[in-house]
Amino acid sequence: MPFVVSQGRSQRMTFSSSGDNNVGVNAQWHQDYCVDVTGADIATHSAYDVLNATGIPIVGKTTYSTGTKILPYVVCRDKTAQQNPKKLSRWTVKAKFSTPPARGGGSGAGGSTEAENAPIAIPETIEEIDPVQSVSLGETEEVLYYEKFTRPPLLLKDTTRTPTGNWWTTPVLERIPTFRLKYTQYEDNITYEEMIERKFRVNSVPWNSQDTGMWLIQDVEASDVSVELLAGNTDAAMVTYTIDLHPDSRLPAGQERFGWMEVRGLFDTQYWSGPPNDPDRKLKAFQSEIAGKANSGYITSTGEKRAEQEGPPDYIAYHIYQDVDFNDFLRLV
C-alpha cells in the first residue's frame, strides 16, 4: 500500500530509576511519525496498515535512531496510530522506545547510568556497540553443618544432628547473598542450542577478576532486534546474561574456595579401618559412649575415622555444573 513516512518534530526523552532499590537507569524515548496515505481509496487503509508501513518501527525489534546516532539498547515497546479528522489521508504514529524492563529483580538491560544510555555514532559493526551491565543482589542456599556464631557463654553447635546423635530429616540451610550482574550485549545471532549450552555454566578460566569456577550463568535471555549500522539496518540478537558471583570469592586469601561445587560434610555411621592402599581394611561402625545414643562420627576424605571428632566436619566437593570459557562469547565492558 502507498505510504509516505516522515519523522515528526515531536520527540521526548526521559530517564527513570529501575527496580525497587533504584538500581540502574531506564531510558525512554518518545517519537512521532507522520504517515501520508496516497491513492484514490483512502478508506481502504486501516490503522493496522499504517502501523505496519515501511519506516514505522517494529515493536520489540527496532532500536532507536536519530538518523546520525543510535541508542543501542533502547527498543520500540509500543506504538499507536491516530487519523487526522480534518485530513483523512494523514496519520500520526506515536512510538515509545525504552530499555528492556527488569526481570526477576534488579534493573533491566539498559546501562547503569544516564551516560551509558547516551546516543552513539552509527557503528560499522555490531561488535563496536559496547555491552552494558547493571548490578544487583541474588542469593544462594547452602547446608549449614556447624553454627557460624552464637552468643556467649553458649558454644557453637553441630547443626546436622539432633542431641541424640540422629541426623535431622531436613538439613539446616543458610541463605547467602550473591553479587549479580545483568550483562547485555549484541550478538550476530544466537540459537536455542547455544543458549542451553551457556545456561548453568561456570567459568572454566579466570574471568572478570575472579578465579575459575566463581561465576555462574543463571539465565540467558535473547530477543531479535534490528540495529542501524553504516551499511543499513541489520538483524541481530540482544542477549542478556544473569551471572552470579559465588560468596566464596569473599573468603580470605589462602582459605579453600569451592565456588559453585556441591559441598557435603564428611560424617557417617561407619568408617574404614585403614587407608585405601590397605588390603586388610574393613568397615567399622562408630560406637557411642552413651547408651542409647545414635552412633555416628566424622570421617576423612578417604573414609577413615577422623582423629578430631569435635568442631566442624571436613568436606568433600563435587562438580555439578559444566564449565565453559566465558571469553568465547562474552565481551567485557
Tens digit of pLDDT per residue, the chain (333 long)? 578 888 876 778 787 765 555 456 778 889 999 999 987 667 678 899 999 999 999 999 999 988 889 988 889 999 999 999 998 889 999 999 988 765 444 444 555 567 777 889 999 999 999 998 888 899 999 999 888 887 777 778 888 888 877 888 898 999 999 999 999 999 999 999 999 999 999 999 999 999 999 999 999 999 999 999 999 999 999 999 999 999 999 999 888 899 999 999 998 989 999 999 999 999 999 887 766 666 888 999 999 999 998 888 999 999 999 999 999 999 986
Distance CA 205, CA 214 (A): 10
Select from 138, 148, 137, 150 the least CA-distant residue to 172: 148
Select from 58, 75, 59, 63 the least CA-distant residue to 122: 63
The 3-state DSSP class for residue 292 equals: coil
| Ramachandran area for residue 196 (φ above 0: left; ψ -120 to 50: alpha; else beta) | alpha
- Strand locations in the chain, DSSP E? 3-17, 25-37, 63-65, 69-84, 87-98, 120-121, 132-143, 173-187, 201-203, 215-229, 232-245, 262-265, 267-268, 270-272, 283-285, 297-298, 315-318, 322-324
User: How much is the pTM?
Assistant: 0.82
**Whole-number CA gyration radius for the chain:** 30
Q: Give me the amino acid identity at 306.
A: R
Distance CA 29, CA 96 (A): 6
Distance CA 303, CA 272 (A): 5
In the numeric block, which cell numbers belong to residue 185?
Answer: 550485549
Non-local (6+) Cβ contacts of 294 within 8 A are 161, 164, 165, 166, 269, 288
Beta strands at 322-324 and 201-203: parallel, antiparallel or unpaired: parallel
pLDDT of residue 293: 66
Select from 306, 263, 319 the least CA-distant residue to 144: 263
pLDDT of residue 103: 45
